[in-house]
């Protein structure tokens, strides 16, 4: 159809999708709260420096995908591509850091990335996530995973697997990096351009390669876990022991890496069997003990996860219908318009959802709309009812009908709905 269409990579959240996303978000927030996480929201745009830091992978991937613009005062601002750096900034700029640590926080909101649009891949999408700041105990890594896992269970989302790895820290990662270079170095000519570039800029990222020509080399590549120093090794064992205590199955996946240096130790993803290729991840998370310093703040360890709500709701069974029974208040004649409007307000005040039709269409047309619109019950006021101070109440389920004084119509409607449900 001609006209202005929505920007590429964006989607309109139509009522069903929006209901599913709100359900998922509210459930996530409530489950996180049951583990002691408090929700916060940060601005949708931030100073660009919050996301562009240092060199290497940052400039390579993040910058290319960012929506960056100058405001009228010439400041460089960026629509947030992710939620962790803003949460760390908010932590330092508020009194959250004075509260007992660790701070347990949850967030949700739209994120923006200039990605190539595809199934489950948008330029504006929504993430729900949690972060734990101020402590580096490995049991916290497992706790964050437990929040994610319980959320999945309560959403009724099966077909998932938890992929777990440790990518070491500044002590042991340099040896691993060297080992990767030694392994792939003699095969440079056979690598596709993208992977050769990864090896040059950030060797760990080559483990992300999905190129079939590289699969054999990847299989034989050194494993992060063979290079862990004592501290990282012990922490990794503690994460696994705690996951067992939570009753959560995991799959060790030595190819799972995070490109950025501030990520340390635990890296995890939740995969779904219906998501393939580079887009198979439902959730991503890990420990980022180096991030706070990279943002110019004091050292502050952290761990968290983020999940894409579009992907989660695409795969989870749809939530049940809206919990409120729906009443339609219909004017059968024009002179009843004000009465049905007042009645609809009283119905809402009594905790029911009410749609009012005070217009001039025929009662028959209005009844048809009410039936199609999912009404459980209709309240009809016409000239005759008006003169006697009555309302006709009809239950759509069995077609039964009563005449009720206007004064008590709301109570009667509630009673009838209650009986019939």
Q: Is 304 in the site for ligand AMP (CB under 6 A)?
A: no
Instruction: Give the residue with the Cβ less far from ligand AMP, 85 or 356.
Output: 85
Helix axes 193-201, 173-184, angle to 10 degrees: 150
Q: In Å, how far are 18, 37, 88, 158, 164 from 251, measured between CA atoms?
A: 33, 26, 29, 16, 6
Q: Is 28 in the site for ligand AMP (CB under 6 A)?
A: no
Instruction: Give the residue with the Cβ less far from ligand AMP, 108 or 184.
Output: 108
Instruction: Give the residue with the Cβ less far from ligand AMP, 224 or 281.
Output: 281
Instruction: Give the residue with the Cβ less far from ligand AMP, 116 or 368.
Output: 116
Q: Is 274 in the site for ligand AMP (CB under 6 A)?
A: no
Instruction: Give the residue with the Cβ less far from ligand AMP, 128 or 184.
Output: 128
Minimum distance from CB of 113 to ligand AMP (Å)?
5
Instruction: Give the residue with the Cβ less far from ligand AMP, 227 or 283.
Output: 283
Q: Contact with ligand AMP (CB under 6 A): which of 131, 141, 289, 310?
A: 310
Q: Is 78 in the site for ligand AMP (CB under 6 A)?
A: no
Q: Is 303 in the site for ligand AMP (CB under 6 A)?
A: no
Q: Which of residues 362-401 bind ligand AMP (CB under 6 A)?
A: none
Minimum distance from CB of 120 to ligand AMP (Å)?
6
Instruction: Give the residue with the Cβ less far from ligand AMP, 78 or 376.
Output: 78
d(CA 176, CA 228): 9
Q: Which of residues 108-127 bind ligand AMP (CB under 6 A)?
A: 113, 115, 120-122, 125, 127
Stretch that binds ligand AMP, among 23-31, 70-78, 142-150, 308-316 (CB under 6 A): 308-316
Q: How many residues does the chain have?
A: 421
Minimum distance from CB of 51 to ligand AMP (Å)?
12
Q: What's the token pair of residue 254?
A: 């030595």
Stretch that binds ligand AMP, among 248-256, 300-308, 330-338, 357-365 (CB under 6 A): 300-308
Q: Is 308 in the site for ligand AMP (CB under 6 A)?
A: yes
Contact at 8 Å (CB) between 103 and 96?
yes
Q: Which of residues 275-294 bind ligand AMP (CB under 6 A)?
A: 281-284
Q: Which residue is nearest to ligand AMP (CB)?
A: 308
Task: Give the number of residues in contact with ligand AMP, rule: CB under 6 A.
Answer: 17
Q: Contact with ligand AMP (CB under 6 A): which of 307, 380, 381, 395?
A: 307
Instruction: Give the residue with the Cβ less far from ligand AMP, 257 or 343.
Output: 257
Q: Is 313 in the site for ligand AMP (CB under 6 A)?
A: no
Minimum distance from CB of 114 to ligand AMP (Å)?
9
* Long-range contacts, stretch 52-57, CB < 8 angstroms, 24+ apart: 52/78, 53/294, 53/295, 54/261, 54/294, 56/201, 56/202, 56/261, 57/201, 57/202, 57/205, 57/259, 57/260
Largest interatomic CA distance in the chain: 94
Interacting residue ranges for ligand AMP, rule: CB under 6 A: 82, 113, 115, 120-122, 125, 127, 281-284, 306-308, 310-311
């Amino acid at each position: 159809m001609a006209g202005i269409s929505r920007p590429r990579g964006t989607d309109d959240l139509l009522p069903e999708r929006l209901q599913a996303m709100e359900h998922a978000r509210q459930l996530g927030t409530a489950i996180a709260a049951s583990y002691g996480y408090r929700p916060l929201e940060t601005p949708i745009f931030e100073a660009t420096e919050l996301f562009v830091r240092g060199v290497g992978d940052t400039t390579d991937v993040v910058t290319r995908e960012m929506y960056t613009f100058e405001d009228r005062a010439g400041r460089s601002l960026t629509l947030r591509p992710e939620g962790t750096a803003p949460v760390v900034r908010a932590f330092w700029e508020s009194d959250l850091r004075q509260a007992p640590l660790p701070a347990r926080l949850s967030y949700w909101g739209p994120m923006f990335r200039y990605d190539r649009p595809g199934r489950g891949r948008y330029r504006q999408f929504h993430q729900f996530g949690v972060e734990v700041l101020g402590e580096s105990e490995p049991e916290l890594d497992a706790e964050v995973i437990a929040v994610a896992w319980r959320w999945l269970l309560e959403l009724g989302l099966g077909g998932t697997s938890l992929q777990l790895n440790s990518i070491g820290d500044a002590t042991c990662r340099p040896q691993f990096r060297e080992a990767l270079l030694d392994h792939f170095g003699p095969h440079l000519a056979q690598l596709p351009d993208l992977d050769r570039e990864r090896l040059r800029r950030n060797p760990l990222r080559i483990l992300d390669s999905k190129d079939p020509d590289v699969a054999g080399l990847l299989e034989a590549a050194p494993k992060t876990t063979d290079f862990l120093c004592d501290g990282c090794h012990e922490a990794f064992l503690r994460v696994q022991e705690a996951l067992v205590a939570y009753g959560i199955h995991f799959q060790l996946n030595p190819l799972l890496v995070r490109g950025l240096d501030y990520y340390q130790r635990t890296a995890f993803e939740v995969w779904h069997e219906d998501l393939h290729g580079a887009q198979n991840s439902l959730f991503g998370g890990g420990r980022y003990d180096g991030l706070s310093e990279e943002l110019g703040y004091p050292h502050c360890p952290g761990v968290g996860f983020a999940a894409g709500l579009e992907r989660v709701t695409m795969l989870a069974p749809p939530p049940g219908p809206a919990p409120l029974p729906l009443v339609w208040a219909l004017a059968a004649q024009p002179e009843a318009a004000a009465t049905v409007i007042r009645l609809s307000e009283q119905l809402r005040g009594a905790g029911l959802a009410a749609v009012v039709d005070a217009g001039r269409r025929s009662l028959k047309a209005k009844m048809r709309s009410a039936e199609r619109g999912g009404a459980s019950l209709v309240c009809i006021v016409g000239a005759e009812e008006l003169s006697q101070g009555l309302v006709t109440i009809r239950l759509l389920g069995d077609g039964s009908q009563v005449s009720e004084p206007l004064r008590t119509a709301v109570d009667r409607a509630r009673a009838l709905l209650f009986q019939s449900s």
